[in-house]
Each structure stands twice: as structure tokens, then as C-alpha cells.
Structure 1
Amino acid sequence: MKHLTPHDPSPRALGFAMPPEWAGHAATWMSWPADDDLWFGQLEAVRTEYAQLAATIARFERVELLVRDEESERDARRRLASGPDSSLDIQFHRVPLDDVWIRDNGPIFVRNEQNELAFTNWKFNSWGEKFEWKNDDRVPEYVAAQLGMGHWDLSTVLEGGAIEVNGDGVALVTRSCLLTPTRNPHLSEQDYATLLGAYLGIDKLLWLDGGLENDHTDGHIDTITRFTDPQTIVTSVEHDPADANHAVMGHNLKQLREMQDGQQRPFRVVELPLPALRLEGEEGRLPPTYANFYIGNGFVVVPQYGDPNDQRALDVLTPLFPGREVIGLPSRAIIGGGGSFHCMTQQQPEGTVWSGEEVGVGA
């Protein structure tokens, strides 16, 4: 297993690119919630919802579940063994953790035409040093050791939830997130295009301006706008002009309708409502969204909030995923931490492990 650096050939130079989420998975990586303070005293309710999410995913594909201590592992095993799916395919890993948002601190996998799988390990700093992060930043190295997988170690800050790919060379990002001075203040839009081209195989980088009000990620793309296939984009809208999200989401919608793919074709843009009810948490307004769904082998899990728009969101999304079961699961407690299902998952695509030993440079 090689640790590659920017001095080595890039993933793109070796034929690797990031697959779309709907490509086949070998597993889903997750991290069990453990810190009651981070959940404002609501850990029990969060674990109840989280167990439903993990059990649902494990019905369709293997779950690699990180647990930070004995109590977490005992709790996870009890909850995941007590339901109707007692034979779920879940592998447990004892790993030091700060939080649960493995989409952002975990590895971002890349694959080549020979179906070999590697990953890129970007710097995680908890969305601009907002919370503790040093244990979570080490998670990709643990994954590499477990899989024996070659990977590239980068000093650039990038979270998985900040980038959305269509599998055909196009990616969506937001300026409000990537251009914050607390991440990579020296990088321009062109610098990001170059980096993401070299390390994730992106040919065309499309920029939206901003995300949801009071989103502590500074506006991750995966909370507002997602690809459902290479030509279809579903994007959040807020119809109440008095709501702070109305103008930002409306501007995003206008931009998306003017964007084109790598072959200069317009995208099909589908509107997805935001929850109708305003949810408040310990630190102000919460950013509930249906766009934070997770796509897996034969399924899509969509967060639900006990909101009038819950069923409407499922009705919008179901036709966009033919052949997949679209499943609504409760996320009212989970959203209190600022994210939902996509933030809590990281897919490991199907593929044979690439060790990187073919590259003659690296430690």
C-alpha cells in the first residue's frame, strides 16, 4: 500500500476518476454517534434514528461501521441486533472519532477502467475549525490500512459533501463553501478546477453561489443540489419570499437552468421543495433538506422531518430513481446536529483494491 503525494503521478494521470454515487457499491462506511454534548442532550433519539438508517442500508449492502469506544460498540450492536434484520451485514471497527460526518472526513474513492479502486485523502478541518477534528482527519488512513489500498495524501482542505459528481466529468460545488478563508484561502476557482481535475477526474466544474441559511458547512452542495443521473439535477427551492432561503435557492435554480454539460447540452433540472416548517435548534435555525438523500445498491434513503412536504419530496424523487426503492426515514433528531443521511455515509465503490505499488515513488 502506497501513500502517494502531489509529487507522484496524479489519479487522472493513472486513469482514475471519482464514480457517481449510483454506481455499484462494495460497502457504505459510517461512524456511530457517541457524544451527547455534540447532540445537545439528544443522543438517545439520534441513535434511534441512526440505527434505522444503518439497518436499512445493511439490508442492501455491507456497512463498515466505525465505533469510537466500548460503549459505542455495545450500544450499536444492541440496537442493530434487536430489530427484524438481525443478520445484517455490518462490520465493526474500533477507531478514535470526534463526530459522525464521514462524508466529509472520510476517503473519497476513485476508480480506473480496469475496475481498480484507490482513494484520495484530503485534509479535514471541521468546516473551518468550527469543532474538534483531529481524530476524524485520521479516518482515511485507518481505511487504507484496513483495505491495503493505495491513496493520495493531500494538504488541501476538501469535504466530500462539498462536491457532487455526475460520473461524466462534471461536478457541482458552491462558492460559499470552497472559497471561505478558513479552508484554502490561497486557492481560486481555477485552482480548484485544476486540483479536482487531477485528483477526481473532473473535466468541468460548475459553481453555485450559496447554500442554506445557518448551514455550518458554509453551504455544502449535498444539502441543496444533487445529480440523479448524468443529465438530471434535482435542486432545492423555497417558495416563500419571506424566507431567507428563497432568494439564494431561486438564484441557484436560474443558474442551473443556464448550465451545460461537457457536450454543451442543458441539464434536466427538477425542483425539490424544502421542508415547509422552520426548525429551530440550540444554535438557531436548522438546515433540514430532502436533498441530503443517499443512493445505494437498489435503494435511496431520504430524510423525513414530520413535515407537510415529506411525502411531496418522496413523490418528486421516486420517479428519478427507476429500479431503486426510495425509502423515507426519520431524521428529525439527526438534523439537530446540522446534517443528515448523505453527510453520515461514504460509499466504497465496487472494484479491486489498487495498492499503488505499481508507482515506483512514495513511502
Structure 2
Amino acid sequence: MDAGPAAAGFRWPAEWEPHAATWLSWPHNLETWPGRLEQAERAFVEIVAALSPHEEVRINVVGGPMEDRVRARLAARGVEVDRAVRFFQIPTDDAWVRDHGPIFVVGEGPPGEREVALHDFGFNAWGGKYPPWDRDNAVPAKIAELAKLQRFETGWVLEGGSIDGNGDGCILTTESCLLNPNRNRGDDGRAVTREDVEQVLADTLGATDVVWLAEGIAGDDTDGHIDDIARFVALDRVVAAVEDDASDINHRPLQKNFECLQAFRGAQGQAFDVVALPMPPPLVLDGQRCPASYANFYLANNVALVPTFEVPNDTRAIDVLRDCLPGREVIAIDSRDLVFGLGAIHCLTQQLPR
């Protein structure tokens, strides 16, 4: 592994810090949204429409014809495409840029004046589940080349949705994902340990505290990404998904995660303010339990985009997040079709800090 960003003076900023842009990879994989790709694209249009008044949106497309079609769709929705959207001819296998895209880090100094670089972790489609993934794995290097950004590289496989940070060295993650041997193994073929992972996160993202939760939610094919269960909304404040129905499969795992967050104490003895975020009722499409969660929100400049599912708990979740995010407009995005592809808004976005 190359000398990491942390040693070079870079840190991983929190999602709520100022953005220069949001990256998306436009959806095109029929196997991800069988029979619903058109509906998924409509949801993408709504995401761009919500983001574009507040920050630039950068979209990876597979060739010129796709760019022309997406331009037309966005313009028909009223998006000021020439002002607010930039297209990049970067081919992809799928749309989950949170996981196949780079993780951006920043140097010292105020937003707009500090250096921005990226870390290129390996990507293997969540433990080899969905081949091919070679085009997705090449996305960070292509972004570094086209955006002329310094690129750090490691042999470790890590998806952006598997970690969440507060910008000050504290990272949330899950054992079920980051300790899974389908991502990484030690040099001697052994299973990786917490200590192995914590060292990588320290070297690459400047982690000083790593909070280990056990597992994710039912229907999540990523082996338990953190961005469906617990998220930072401030330096020491975390929203954590809870399932009120004791008969639901998610109830006990989420309760254990909530209790773990309440019990955590950082290196300086600091505790979290842990806020309960309700879950939607089970969402089953074509016989498949989908990983529907309000925790899969995305924080952009001035706004928070929240997945909703046309159920009563939508209002409860939006109220919780509005209270936690003063000064941000909370925008609901109907994500029923998105989550049929086993992800939602946070999975489909990646912030470029200023």
C-alpha cells in the first residue's frame, strides 16, 4: 500500500461539510432493476433536480447517446443542465457510485482553498456477488485522471457505503461487512481482524476512533452497510435506525446497534447523542424483502435528500431528520423503485468536497 493520505496531511471530511459537487453514475443495468429501470431513471432525475440548485452534479455516462438522452430528460424536468450538470464519459457496470467511486479527502485550509485528493479502494461487487465489475473498479482512477486529482491507492477492498465519518477521525462501520473474508484477507490468507481494519482506516482516512456495530438490515446484499443503519448528523450526534415491531427480523439487531452507540466512549471519553430514526414497514417487491431505510439519506449543500416509501412513517422520519439538520431543507425522494435495486439515495451519490 502506498503512503496513505493521512500521512500526507489529508483527512476525510464529514458529508455535511461544503461540497463542490455530487457524483452520480447513471443507471443502465437491466439486471439491477428488472422491469423497473425506467422508474429508477425517473428517481435519478428527481435527485438531480433536487441537488442542482445547490451544487454541481457530475454524472458518469456510458457514451454519447446516453449523455444526449439524459440531458434531454433533465432539461424536460426543468434542470438547468448547461449551468449545473457536467457529464463524464466513464463507463460503469452499475449505478452504485457510493461504493465503486472514489472517497475524497481534503488537505488543510478552508473550503475552496484546500487541496482535494481521492482514495482509490478496490471494488469487487460486494464480495464477488455481481460480475462483471471491472469497469466499476476503474472509476476512481478515471475520475482522478479527468479531474486532475492526486490519487492514493490501496490493495484493500472497501465500499463507501460501509463507513460513515464525522470529519474528525471517528468512523462508524459493521463487523459483518468489513471483517467479511469475501472482501479482504491477511497476507497469510487469514481472516482480517478489527485491528487490521482500524490500521487501514487510520492510514487512509485518518481514523482515530472506529465504532463497530454488528450487522445491517434484512434484504441488504452488501453484508451490512452502515449507511442503512446509523449515520452522523453532527460531530457527536448519530441517528440510528430502530424497528418498533418486536416481531420484525430487524428489531433485535437494530436495538443492539442502538445500545452499542449509546455505550460508546471515544478516546477522550466523549459520548454520542444517539437519536432514534424509525424504519419503514417491510417493503417486499416481487417476493423480495428490500433494504428500505430512512438512514440512506444524503447531505448536500443546504439540503438533505431523504428516501421515502409512501408509508405513514415517512412523516415521522422526515420530522426526526429536520430536527437534527437545522438550516437544511429536507427533501423527500420517492425511493420505492430505487430500493428494488437494493439501494437508495446515499448508495447512488458521492460527495466531492470543496
Give the TM-score, by structure 2 length. 0.94
**Aligned position for 2:152:** 152
Q: Which amino acid aligns with 1:108?
A: I
Q: Cα offset for 1:35?
A: 2.0
Q: Deviations over 1:272-324 (max 9, x none)?
A: 00102x21234721110000000011110000111111111000000111111
- Deviation per CA, 1:201-230: give whole Å up to 9, x if none: 110111000000120011100111000001
Q: 1:93 pairs with 76, 82, 88, which one?
A: 88
**Partner residue of 1:267?**
272
Paired with 2:164 and 2:32, the residues of 1 have a C-alpha distance of 27
Letter of the structure 1 residue corresponding to residue 310 of structure 2: G
Equivalent residue for 2:76? 82
Distance 1:262 1:145 in 2: 38
- AA aligned opposite 1:273: P
> 1:105 matched to which residue of 2?
100
Q: Percent identity?
A: 41
- Equivalent pairs counted in the alignment come to 343
Matches within 5 A, 1:1-363: 6-7=1-2, 9-87=3-81, 89-114=84-109, 115-131=114-130, 132-186=132-186, 187-276=192-281, 278-282=282-286, 284-350=288-354
Residue 34 of structure 1 contacts residue 72 of structure 1 at CA under 8 Å; is this kept in 2?
no
Counterpart residue identity of residue 160, structure 1: G
1:353 corresponds in structure 2 to none
- Unaligned runs of 5+ residues in structure 2 are 187-191
Aligned equivalents of 2:270, 2:31: Cα separation in 1:
48
Report Cα offsets for 1:138-175 as digits up to 9, x if no partner: 00011101111111111100000001101111100000
Query: What secondary structure, in the 3-state scheme, does the structure 1 residue paired with 2:210 have?
Result: strand
Q: Does the 8 Å CA contact 1:28/1:346 hold for their aligned counterparts?
A: yes
Moved more, 112-121 or 153-162: 112-121
Counterpart-to-counterpart distance in 1, 2:68 and 2:247: 47
- For residues 87-114 of structure 1, give each alpha carbon's deviation from its aligned partner in whole angstroms, at most 9, with x where no partner exists: 5500011221100000001011111214
Structure 2 counterpart SS, 1:84? coil
The DSSP-based 3-state class of the residue aligned with 2:47 is helix
CA distance in 1, matches of 2:181, 2:324: 36
For 1:293 and 1:262, the matched residues in 2 are separated by: 28
Compute the displacement of 1:262 (Å): 3.5
Q: Given the two structures, how large is their TM-score scaled by the length of structure 1?
A: 0.92
Q: Give me the CA root mean square deviation.
A: 1.2
CA distance in 1, matches of 2:39, 2:284: 16
Q: Aligned equivalents of 1:154 and 1:170: distance in 2? A: 20
